Amino acid sequence: MDRREAKESLFDHFAHVARALGNAKRLELVDLLAQGERSVETLAATSGMNLTTVSANLQALRRANLVATRREGTRIFYRLAGPHVANLYLQLHRVAETASPGLRSAAEAFLGPDDTEEIGRDELRRRLHDGSVTLLDVRPAEEYASGHLPGAVSIPYDQLADRLDELPADTEVVAYCRGPYCVLAHDAVRVLRDRGRVVRRLADGVLEWEAARLPVVNP
């Protein structure tokens, strides 16, 4: 192999990883797997994709060594291959926010209008320390169990309206879900605000929290 061929081979290895991530369905699966290990069936149910589509896209991610697996009986569970994959996914967000002019309008179409007040992680940590805020994790229960922010209580969004009395009425609530492009926290803030609660939204999810080298409660 001459020098030119070697260079082409080198960049083809980079392109192999880029091609694996160059698909919206695969990126959605990476987003879900960033919350913790999942079975194929759970990924299909959560994403709304069918099993065949999920399996095919997971295999593409596996061929690029971006996910790893384990078998439990007849079921196969997938997880990200390591924190480097999660960090790559976060960096992709940051690049897209700068490079893709249509991202903001697409996010607003999905998340709804900019009508939910946000709180930063530093203020949240101070408020948690003095006990003046209730931190609410509105992701599905299995995601909370896989890892959550310290001090967070779990009420999945689809149960929130029926479990409002579990939240103290005399403290502000801060809701979070999977990160800045997760709709669950936005909708949770709207539900709580309509019920007269003082509530804000944390843009961070567990992935962003870990990337900032902040502690996460893991099983």
Q: pLDDT, tens digit, for every residue of 43-81?
A: 999 999 999 999 999 999 999 999 999 999 889 999 999
Residue 27 DSSP SS3: helix
Active site residues per annotation: 177
Contact 44, 50 (CB under 8 A): yes
- How far is Cα 17 from Cα 91, in angstroms, rounded to an integer? 14
Q: pLDDT, tens digit, for every residue of 79-108?
A: 999 999 999 999 999 999 999 999 999 999
Q: What is the DSSP string of 32-91?
A: HHTT--EEHHHHHHHH---HHHHHHHHHHHHHTTSEEEEEETTEEEEEES-HHHHHHHHH
- Structural domains of the chain sorted by starting position, each given as residue range(s) with its CATH number in brackets: 3-89 (1.10.10.10), 106-211 (3.40.250.10)
Check residue 219 and give its pLDDT: 75
Question: pTM higher than 0.95 for the full model?
Answer: no
